[in-house]
Amino acid sequence: MPVRKANAVWEGGLRQGKGIMRLQSQAFEGPYSFPSRFEEGEGTNPEELIAAAHAGCFSMALAASLEREGYTPKRVATEARVHLEMVEGKPTLARIELLTEAEVPGISPEKFQEIAQAAKEGCAVSRALAGVKEITLQAKLV
């Protein structure tokens, strides 16, 4: 399996400094700063990139799980919400919400929920983020 890389460069102190994050694939390069991470400033942040990774991983994991069970999804769309909170005085990824909608012909709502929950547990990013206290899933069949 391939090794994926990204890099970040930070210049200056925490509050006044600034940085840039780049993906190995060159598909994304974005600035980040204290305001973009801990306030509502412009730019990206590590939590946003984790959310993108989790949404992408879960969508693929759900599609794969549905196929293994004999269902062919037409569409799976996922939003991941990463909650950065102060826990014991330290910034912590305290909770992640996965909100997904899937169009899957011929599946019952109960079977869909069962497969979606299993996909959440099996998703590589979910497993990597096992230290996050809570990862919830709201799955909607459309």
Write down the pLDDT at residue 133.
Answer: 84
The predicted structure's pLDDT at residue 132: 87
Going residue by residue through the chain, which has 142 residues, state the pLDDT in tens, using 9 for 90 and above.
Answer: 899 999 999 999 999 999 999 999 999 999 999 999 999 999 999 999 999 999 999 999 999 999 999 999 999 999 999 999 999 999 999 999 999 999 999 999 999 999 999 999 999 999 999 888 889 999 999 9
Q: Which sequence spans correspond to the domains of the chain?
A: 6-38, 46-141
> What DSSP designation does 55 have?
H
For residue 22, the tally of other CB atoms under 10 A from its CB is 15
> How many CB atoms within 10 Å of residue 11?
9
β-strand pairing of 29-33 with 18-23: antiparallel
C-alpha distance across the termini of the chain, in Å: 34
pTM over 0.85: yes
How far is the C-alpha of 132 from the C-alpha of 140, rounded, in Å?
23
Alpha-carbon distance 63 to 45, whole Å?
28
Structure-derived torsion over alpha carbons of residues 105, 58, 119, 71, reported in degrees to the nearest 10: 20
pLDDT at 31: 98
- Tokens 């400094």 map to which residue? 17
Architecture of the domain delimited by 46-141 = 2-Layer Sandwich (3.30)
Number of neighbours of residue 2 by Cβ within 10 angstroms: 5
